[in-house]
Structure 1
Amino acid sequence: MNPQALRLDHARALLREAGVALPPPASANDWTEIQAIIDGLCELSARDPLTGLPNRRAFLGRLTQELDRSSRAGEMALLLMIDIDHFKSVNDRYGHLAGDAVLRAVARLLSEQVRPMDTVARLGGEEFGVVFPHCGPTFGALLAERLRAAVAATVMPLPDGQATLQVTVSIGGAYSPAWVRSSVEHWMERADRQLYEAKRQGRNRVCIEPVPVNEVSPEEKDLLFAWHDASGYMIDAADAV
């Protein structure tokens, strides 16, 4: 048997299990179906299998886009790091199936509270991330509190059909710096520090880093747009000196 055919059969099976529809092959070498398989596998690789949310890799790419937007256009975004409080005790007391049910329920609740332009992701374990584009300090704290309150107010049925459970989340947040080059790692580290502070203060609460004040004059903003080389790439300030 052709090894290539075996690999395609395996890819089709993976996509069927994930609920991805594929067109029926018109022939043994139908490139339309092969392209659909490639597209489906790419989508699958960016998705968390338990919750269906974007995974950590996909989320990091989204954060890179928002940092680029902030540095070029001065549009702030809010990054939230969210952790389910005392999640280990859920697994220890009710079992891992119950823990999985809680993770799926929290993922659904978070997704229901955000705008279509926002991104909710599962970063690993009991930790989630949310990024709100075009979000300044006026509304950021309100959005984060809405997520926390939605989880705390929800009674979640467990897989045995008899027990129910309520959990809470701790949330830490940080805004992307406007008109300043930064890194995804530094942005996540700042939000993580606020998450640890929320847990230190007793959990089931929101802590958001104060917005950094960046004094950028209109002339400096013009320079940010003007620093391009002949290929159209942005030149760092250090290289322009």
Structure 2
Amino acid sequence: MDRPYQNPPTADTQPLRLDQALQLLALSGVPDPRGEPGSPVWMQQLIDALVDLSSRDALTGLANRRAFQLALEREIDRVARSGEPALMLVADIDHFKRVNDCFGHAAGDQVIRAVAAVLTDSVRPMDLVARVGGEEFAIILPNCPHSFGETVAERIRQQVEQTQVDIGNGRALAVSISMGGAFAPQWVRSTPALWLERADLQLYAAKAAGRNRVLLEPTADSFVSHDEKRLLFDSTSFQDFL
């Protein structure tokens, strides 16, 4: 069968498998690029679609872990330069294993998609919602003051709690999430791992306290860990004061 979009190989290049790229887009429900196949405009649309696809979670359409990590690094840099507050929330679907065990993985997928939709609908367009694990999600909320953080997180939790997930055959499941949150230290260049670890600690505490609840770091001001202080003061004359 002819491959109309496959360029012939040259001495130092391999042929472009554009047919496979188009098939991947089709399987993902992405429309073909517009315009004349092989033209610069058509190729740019194809590249843009593939880049977007590589940053999306296939099940939910949310940002995937790779895109989340990149966004996290950008937000840390922005907070360090601007001093504006930023909140990270991490969420985990409660008792998700029971859903898979009792109703099957198809029902589990429905629950994940439903929670993803609620999370997306509950935040601002500027916020990033990502699926970072099986039943785990993370949200980056730029320019979110401390005074609003708990209200925002609690509203999201309540929206999920009020959702009934249709799993077929006339059955609907009630679901809930546990959430933990941490603010980025303002004017401090942290790391994605340290910020995520602080939010995760609050998530673990929320689960240990009974699930279906939100816990943010208790201090009104952003907590700066020892490691973050070290990042700030390494190679400076202030290091002796740590």
**TM-score normalised by L of structure 2:** 0.84
Number of equivalenced pairs: 219
1:59-70 alignment runs, 5 A limit: 59-70=68-79
- Report the counterpart of residue 11 of structure 1 in structure 2: 21
- Report the counterpart of residue 23 of structure 1 in structure 2: 33
Deviation at 1:19, TM superposition (A): 2.6
Query: The residue matched to 1:182 in structure 2 has which SS?
Result: coil
Report the Cα distance in structure 1 between the residues aligned to 2:72 and 2:125, rounded to whole angstroms.
16
Report the Cα distance in structure 1 between the residues aligned to 2:28 and 2:111, rounded to whole angstroms.
20
Contact 2:83 2:187 in 1 (8 A): yes
Which letter does structure 1 place at the counterpart of 2:195? W
Report the Cα distance in structure 1 between the residues aligned to 2:222 and 2:90, rounded to whole angstroms.
23
Moved more, 66-75 or 188-197: 66-75
Moved more, 94-103 or 33-42: 33-42
Report the Cα distance in structure 2 between the residues aligned to 1:212 and 1:138, rounded to whole angstroms.
8
State the Cα deviation string for residues 137-168 of structure 1 (Å, max 9, x = none).
1000000001110111111111x231110011
Q: Structure 1 residues 104 and 214 mapped into 2: Cα distance closer, same or farther (>3 Å)?
A: closer
Report the Cα distance in structure 2 between the residues aligned to 1:214 and 1:111, rounded to whole angstroms.
26
Report the Cα distance in structure 2 between the residues aligned to 1:83 and 1:139, rounded to whole angstroms.
21
Report the Cα distance in structure 1 between the residues aligned to 2:122 and 2:158, rounded to whole angstroms.
10
Report the Cα distance in structure 1 between the residues aligned to 2:105 and 2:88, rounded to whole angstroms.
29
1:144 to 144, 153, 169: 153
Report the Cα distance in structure 1 between the residues aligned to 2:78 and 2:129, rounded to whole angstroms.
19
2:120 to 111, 116, 136: 111
Report the Cα distance in structure 2 between the residues aligned to 1:179 and 1:75, rounded to whole angstroms.
8
- Report the counterpart of residue 43 of structure 1 in structure 2: 52
- Report the counterpart of residue 197 of structure 2 in structure 1: 189
Report the Cα distance in structure 1 between the residues aligned to 2:96 and 2:222, rounded to whole angstroms.
38
1:208 to 203, 213, 216: 216
Report the Cα distance in structure 2 between the residues aligned to 1:45 and 1:214, rounded to whole angstroms.
33
Query: The residue matched to 2:25 in structure 1 has which SS?
Result: helix
Which letter does structure 1 place at the counterpart of 2:109? D
- Report the counterpart of residue 89 of structure 1 in structure 2: 98
Which letter does structure 2 place at the counterpart of 1:131? I
Q: Can you give the 5+ residue segments of structure 2 that lack an aligned partner in the other structure?
A: 8-14, 224-231, 238-242
Moved more, 14-23 or 78-87: 14-23
How big is the alpha-carbon RMSD for the aligned residues of Structure 1 and Structure 2? 2.0
Contact 1:173 1:195 in 2 (8 A): yes
- Report the counterpart of residue 99 of structure 1 in structure 2: 108
Contact 1:137 1:211 in 2 (8 A): no
> What's the % identity of the aligned pairs?
49
2:64 to 55, 70, 94: 55
Which letter does structure 1 place at the counterpart of 2:95? H
Query: The residue matched to 2:88 in structure 1 has which SS?
Result: strand
Q: Can you give the 5+ residue segments of structure 1 that lack an aligned partner in the other structure?
A: 216-235
Query: The residue matched to 1:124 in structure 2 has which SS?
Result: coil
